[in-house]
Chain A
């Protein structure tokens, strides 16, 4: 069992390594993608600087907390899109019959499929996330906690992408649903949760768990509470389990396809 887990880990790392090698074929494109993503994220901070020059507190967040929020959001997004980019293209992978190659291999189909692609710009998100973390929380322990939290957040985002992408086993054009669902997870991520009220707030801690990926980690980084950490870890575990269940249930309905395809 332990050897199998070790071997699976080795394959996932190799797969990510090879996918990264592909992205690095063109130095200019690779570096531009990374740098522009950092600049893109940084440009939004200017708007917050302007807002905080007018008032000290927005939605219950100080400027420092907003920086942390951006760090956590970019970090979780970076982890998910860098290591598991193909989770976001799972719907197309299923409908185009591209799972065939992974099914005939003696490894975990889902992990093999989602680690087969990396998104270069997500490296920019990760770098940006750590810049924000270092600027606000300067202690080593905070950086460690931050790392743990963005990994949990990345896992939750990936799990949601897998669940939404797996709908393709049941419905045609589920890629549109997946795109909308994944979009909500990022659209709400960069605003202080105090500005959301009522039903929206409930949704942000349940169906669209932006609160668990972003808001609770920001609270943890400013005021650590074990119960909050438990919520994040627990939620991540449930999402992983759910993602595997939905994917493998759906796999029984997989109909492959005879489209010509290449592994590029």
Chain B
């Protein structure tokens, strides 16, 4: 069952184009020039119930604009959006009861209040009876391990603790879909890992559909089974993580410590990344040469130590972005 359906979605912004310097400012006072920026162009996709989807793209690709149209913050110029059968333009309030949002760059909590008071406030916003809010706060504070600081004013919390509280605030009304826009921005690796584990647990326990945007490839790799890539406002890829890796991971990195030096310079399908005499790092294009053949060239008897790994997801995504730039 699809919980999100997007068809031919378009959004254009009119941006004032200013010439350089004070002179330019005066000129644009009397003869303003505008530039139309197509932030989102004919995007189409669907999301199934319970899915964890990564919606990614470089800066300015149109991710935030899309997520803002899906949550009713922005009005699209063209196209149809259906979130749980509701049109965000026409049924904003109804939709708000069904979705939760966390914008990593924009805090929704009152910083002078404690997380507990904030959660009570959010409970009132969603018209949840007192007892039910208390129960929910108890349940979520256990799941997100907030007990230690639930009565400390938000402004005194660390960034990681705040983000946990932001997520809990967005879950107080049991949303069916959670939109997470850069939830791990600015967090240290340990806290990031912690947040990811909590999001995963939440998806498992409540079957919440997760719509995630992030620049952190670890977020995407560890949380999502499906990736949608957007660039210059257009959808450039919509595939499962497995397929993405299968299609793009036709390259392996081989790092070897050798007894004797080996010359692989003219070998087809092999790119030398680093050659420090006895330490060699090569990239094997498996569509041209198998890893086994590459190892034969190195001569197994000549190898002291070896490590074979996939290309990091980050490199794959960068390659996809670059391909689109070159088109």
Binding site for B on A (CB under 8 A): 7, 10-11, 14-15, 18, 21-22, 25, 97-101, 103-107, 172, 252-256, 258-264
Contact = CB atoms under 8 A, between A and B. Distances in A.
A22 B110 contact: yes
Contacts, number: 80
A104 B105 contact: no
A16 B90 CA distance: 29
Contacts of A21: 112-113
A258 B103 CA distance: 10
Contacts of A14: 121, 124
Contact of B73 (A18, A22, A103, A262): A103
B117 interface: yes
A104 B106 contact: no
Give the residue among B94, B96, B113, B127 with the most A Cβ atoms within 10 A.
Answer: B127
Interface in B71-124: 71-75, 92-94, 96-97, 99, 101, 103, 105-113, 117, 121, 124
B208 to A, nearest CB: 16
B75 A105 contact: no
A18 B125 CA distance: 13
B86 to A, nearest CB: 12
A170 to B, nearest CB: 11
Interface of B: 13, 16, 64, 68, 71-75, 92-94, 96-97, 99, 101, 103, 105-113, 117, 121, 124-127, 155
A263 B73 contact: no
A97 B13 CA distance: 15
Contacts of A255: 13, 74
Contact of A7 (B109, B113, B127): B127
A21 B112 CA distance: 8
B96 A106 contact: yes
A103 B92 contact: yes
Given A255-B13, A256-B68, A264 B74 contact: no
Contacts of B103: 100
B16 A172 contact: yes
A104 B113 contact: no
Contacts of B75: 252-254
Given A100-B68, A258-B64, A258-B105, A10 B124 contact: yes
Contact of A18 (B13, B74, B94, B110): B110
Nearest to B107: A262
Contacts of A254: 73-75
A209 to B, nearest CB: 31
Nearest to A7: B127
B173 to A, nearest CB: 9
A263 B124 contact: no
Contacts of B71: 103-104
B103 to A, nearest CB: 7
A12 to B, nearest CB: 11
B94 A106 contact: yes
Given A104-B101, A107-B93, A258-B105, A25 B112 contact: yes
B59 to A, nearest CB: 9
Contacts of A105: 96, 125
B97 to A, nearest CB: 5
Contact of A262 (B111, B125, B127): B111
A106 B93 contact: yes
Contacts of A253: 75
Contacts of A262: 106-107, 111
A112 to B, nearest CB: 8
B108 A263 contact: yes
Contact of A106 (B68, B97, B112, B155): B97
Given A104-B101, A256-B73, 19 more contacts: A14-B124, A21-B113, A99-B73, A103-B72, A104-B71, A104-B73, A105-B125, A106-B94, A106-B97, A106-B126, A254-B75, A259-B105, A260-B106, A261-B105, A261-B106, A263-B108, A263-B110, A263-B111, A264-B155
B117 A100 contact: no
30 contacts: A11-B125, A14-B121, A14-B124, A18-B110, A22-B112, A25-B112, A97-B106, A98-B106, A99-B73, A100-B103, A100-B106, A103-B73, A104-B71, A104-B96, A104-B99, A105-B96, A106-B96, A106-B125, A106-B127, A107-B93, A252-B75, A255-B74, A256-B64, A256-B68, A256-B74, A258-B64, A258-B105, A260-B106, A261-B105, A261-B107
A255 B155 CA distance: 28
B245 to A, nearest CB: 30
B106 A101 contact: yes
The 3 tightest CB contacts between A and B, nearest first, are A106-B96, A22-B112, A106-B93
